Structure 1
Amino acid sequence: MSKGATMMTKSAAKNLFAFFEGDPEQADRAVFGRESYPDRRGFLGGAGLAAMGAMLGAAIPFHRNMPAGFVPAALADTDVLQGKDGLVLLNDRPINAETPPHLLDSPITSNEHFFVRNNGNVPPDTSANGWELTIDGLVDTPLKLTIADLKEQFEVVKLALVIECGGNGRFFFSPPAGGNQWTYGAVGCAYFTGVRLRDVLKKAGVKEGVIYTAHEGADPHLSGDPARLPISRGLTIEKAMADDVLIAFEMNDTEIPVLNGRPLRLVVSGWPGSCSQKWLTRIWLRDVVHDGPKMGGTSYRVPRYPVAPGQDVPEEDFDIIMRMPVKSLITNPATKSDVSGKAVDVRGHAWSGDRTIEKVDVSIDFGASWMPTDLAPPVNFGAWQNWKKTVTFPQAGYYEIWSRATDSAGATQPYAVGWNPKGYLNNSMHRVAVNVA
Structure 2
Amino acid sequence: MNDHTSKKITKQSILEAYEENPEKADLEIFGRRPHKDRRGFLKGAGLATMGAMLGASIPFHRNFPSGLIPVAMADDANVLAGKEGLTLLNDRPVNAETPPHLLDDAITPTKRHFIRNNGIPPESMDPDSWTLTIDGLVDNPMELSIADLKSKFEVVTMALTIECGGNGRAFFNPPAKGNQWTYGAVACSNWTGVRLKDVLEAAGVKSNAIYTAHVGADSHLSGKEGKLPISRGMPIEKALTDNILIAFEQNGEALHPMNGAPLRLVVPGWPGSCSQKWLKRIYLRDIVHDGPKMTGTAYRVPNRPVSAGEKVEKKDFVIIERMPVKALVTAPATGATLEAGSVDVRGHAWSGDREISKVEVSIDFGATWQATELDKPVNSGAWQNWRTKVSLPLKGYYEIWARAVDDAGEGQPQAISWNPKGYLNNSVHRVAVRYS
Aligned residue in 2 for 1:229: 228
1:14 equivalent in alignment to 2:74: yes
Structure 2 residue identity aligned to 1:188: A
**Rounded Cα–Cα distance in structure 1 between residues aligned with 2:239 and 2:284:** 10
Q: CA deviation at 1:14?
A: 1.3
- Maintained 8 Å contact 1:13/1:80: no
* 1:294-327 Cα distance to aligned partner (Å, 9 max, x none): 0000000000000010100000000000000000
Aligned residue in 2 for 1:167: 166
* 1:87-121 Cα distance to aligned partner (Å, 9 max, x none): 00111100000000000000000000000000000
Query: Percent of aligned pairs with the same residue?
Result: 63
* 1:317-357 Cα distance to aligned partner (Å, 9 max, x none): 00000000000000000001101110110010000000000
1:193 equivalent in alignment to 2:253: no
- Maintained 8 Å contact 2:69/2:90: no
Aligned residue in 2 for 1:414: 413
Change (3 A) 1:13 1:331: farther
Change (3 A) 1:78 1:226: farther
**Rounded Cα–Cα distance in structure 1 between residues aligned with 2:77 and 2:329:** 33
Matched residue SS, 2:434: strand
Q: CA deviation at 1:129?
A: 1.3
- Maintained 8 Å contact 1:417/1:426: yes
Aligned residue in 2 for 1:53: none
Q: CA deviation at 1:199?
A: 0.4
**Rounded Cα–Cα distance in structure 1 between residues aligned with 2:329 and 2:108:** 14
* 1:368-395 Cα distance to aligned partner (Å, 9 max, x none): 0000000011111100000001111111
1:154 equivalent in alignment to 2:214: no
Q: 5+ residue gaps in structure 2?
A: 1-10, 23-66
Q: CA deviation at 1:127?
A: 1.2
- Maintained 8 Å contact 1:328/1:348: yes
Which contiguous aligned blocks of 4+ residues in structure 1 show a shift greater than 2 angstroms?
1-10
**Rounded Cα–Cα distance in structure 2 between residues aligned with 1:235 and 1:150:** 21
Matched residue SS, 1:188: strand
**What TM-score, normalized to structure 1?**
0.85
Matched residue SS, 2:238: helix
Matched residue SS, 1:401: strand
* 1:7-27 Cα distance to aligned partner (Å, 9 max, x none): 3687x4612xxxxxxxxxxxx
Report the RMSD for the aligned CA atoms in angstroms.
1.1
- Maintained 8 Å contact 2:74/2:90: no
* 1:234-279 Cα distance to aligned partner (Å, 9 max, x none): 0100000011100000000000100000000000000000000000
Structure 2 residue identity aligned to 1:107: A
Between the two proteins, the alignment pairs up a number of residues equal to 375
1:261 equivalent in alignment to 2:260: yes
* 1:34-61 Cα distance to aligned partner (Å, 9 max, x none): xxxxxxxxxxxxxxxxxxxxxxxxxxxx
Structure 1 residue identity aligned to 2:148: D
Aligned residue in 2 for 1:71: none
- Maintained 8 Å contact 1:346/1:388: yes
Structure 1 residue identity aligned to 2:74: K
Aligned residue in 2 for 1:278: 277
* 1:178-227 Cα distance to aligned partner (Å, 9 max, x none): 00000000000000000000100001100011110000000011111121
Structure 2 residue identity aligned to 1:92: D
**Rounded Cα–Cα distance in structure 2 between residues aligned with 1:93 and 1:403:** 34
- Maintained 8 Å contact 1:133/1:280: yes
Matched residue SS, 1:191: strand
1:400 equivalent in alignment to 2:409: no
Stretch of structure 1 that moved more, 362-371 or 77-86: 77-86
**Rounded Cα–Cα distance in structure 2 between residues aligned with 1:14 and 1:136:** 39
Structure 1 residue identity aligned to 2:79: V
Structure 2 residue identity aligned to 1:367: G
**What TM-score, normalized to structure 2?**
0.85
**Rounded Cα–Cα distance in structure 1 between residues aligned with 2:126 and 2:399:** 47
- Maintained 8 Å contact 1:163/1:188: yes
**Rounded Cα–Cα distance in structure 2 between residues aligned with 1:119 and 1:178:** 15
Aligned residue in 1 for 2:214: 215
- Maintained 8 Å contact 1:93/1:121: yes
Aligned residue in 2 for 1:176: 175
- Maintained 8 Å contact 2:326/2:427: yes
Q: 5+ residue gaps in structure 1?
A: 16-76
- Maintained 8 Å contact 1:247/1:267: yes
Aligned residue in 2 for 1:120: 119
**Rounded Cα–Cα distance in structure 2 between residues aligned with 1:406 and 1:281:** 38
Q: How does 1:25-64 map to 2 (within 5 A)?
A: none
Aligned residue in 1 for 2:313: 314
**Rounded Cα–Cα distance in structure 2 between residues aligned with 1:350 and 1:259:** 25
- Maintained 8 Å contact 1:13/1:81: no
Structure 2 residue identity aligned to 1:418: S
